[in-house]
Amino acid sequence: MTPDAQDVGGNDQQGWSQSARRRGAVAVVDLAAVTHNTARMLAAAGGAAVMAVVKADAYGHGLVPCALAAQRGGATWLGTALFEEALRLRDAGVGGPILAWLSGPGADWDAVLARGIDVSVSAPWALPELTAAAGRVGRPARVHLKVDTGLSRAGSQPTDWPDLVTAAAQAQALGAVEVVGLWSHLACADTPEHPANSTALQRFHDAYGQATAAGLTPQVRHLANSAATLALPDTRLDLVRPGIALYGISPGEQIGTVRALGLRAAMSLRARLALVKRVPAGQGVSYGHAYVTDRETVLGLVPLGYGDGIARSAANRGPVQAGLLRTSVVGQVCMDQVVVDLGPGSAARIGDEVVLFGDAGTGVPEVEDWGRATGTIGYEVVTRIGPRVPRAYVGGVA
């Protein structure tokens, strides 16, 4: 069951829906925070429009609810990686322009064209397939041409760009495609002073000049992600594409903390203790006894594990808030559960709530704390939280 389809009714004030109470764990998603963060990015965009990036199930937060929350915050575009994600939005009745950018030969062009979804093109091979699909569907394909400005991922190499814009102009002249956008992606936006940023911007402007010389007049140029929207004003152009910032996570230490950026954490990962027990000093905990108690203490069992997206690298270091106590995961992370050391004086009981991460303003660990503890980034921490964890939506209409 996808997060969008889960029970979002009957929440208590902490977001515990009926399904979450049965499961013993919940990812509470504050849709008002998504709306707030989108408005914050719109204000930072310097007059550019906002494309809310909701790929990967809105970074694990829930595709449809977060897309609608972002639109309430002022996003006029939506962005997805996969065609299937864009089609899910349309199936849910979400309007407005949507760009889906990751496809290969034989993709279901007909479906996306029929639903009014824009597509990205990085190489000429796609244009004949789009031309054929446009003929079958009876409408031109809305295309965003992508140039590689230094990331060396998707996008046409500058040396191949003239051939792509020429082929696109020919397809447009036949009425098969409409080139509505020109775009790229920055490799080093989270390091604002990196020279690759200015190089990429110049390559982008050069590519735009070649496109217009070929007779194309794209309506929107877009280059800036969350970090660039906040820190690189020259990259904002006509449209910005924030993703991670919409969910209240900083795009990088050099960009600023969540509080300094005026963002609000959207996800809070919570669980209820499934077991509490007192153990003696010298007690090994979890597989391999990677943790051994150094005194008599109280252990709590948390019903979340790597099967739910908790990284195994959280062993002996993943932060957890248990009441007023900041503690951590102890021992190896198991598929379905972890153990926390609650201390010798703990009066914890089965069913008490613990928080793995959430809004730091409430005194709990942040997503970034988990990123640092597990050797990764906030993006991965939230997108790893899998469908076994119910989502409960608060602060807006799910």
User: Active-site residue numbers?
Assistant: 55, 287
CA distance linking residue 156 with residue 161, whole number of Å: 6
Counting every residue, how long is the chain? 398
Pair 106, 143: CB distance under 8 Å: no
DSSP state of 384: T
Q: How far are the Cα atoms of 63, 350, 392 from residue 16, in angstroms, in the given order?
A: 20, 16, 7
Q: Which of 215, 218, 151, 143 is nearest to 184 (CA)?
A: 151
DSSP strands (E only) in 273-362:
275-279, 284-285, 291-292, 297-302, 319-322, 325-330, 338-341, 353-357
CA distance linking residue 109 with residue 82, whole number of Å: 12
Cβ neighbours around 233 below 10 Å, total: 13
CB atoms within 10 A of CB 177: 27
Contact (Cβ atoms closer than 8 angstroms) between residue 175 and residue 137: no
Using a CB cutoff of 8 Å and minimum separation of 24, what contacts does 99-105 make? 99/51, 99/144, 99/181, 101/144, 101/146, 101/154, 102/154, 105/129
Comparing CA positions, the residue from 282, 285, 280 lying closest to residue 297 is 280
One-letter amino acid for residue 178 of the chain: E
Pairing of strands 267-272, 25-30: antiparallel
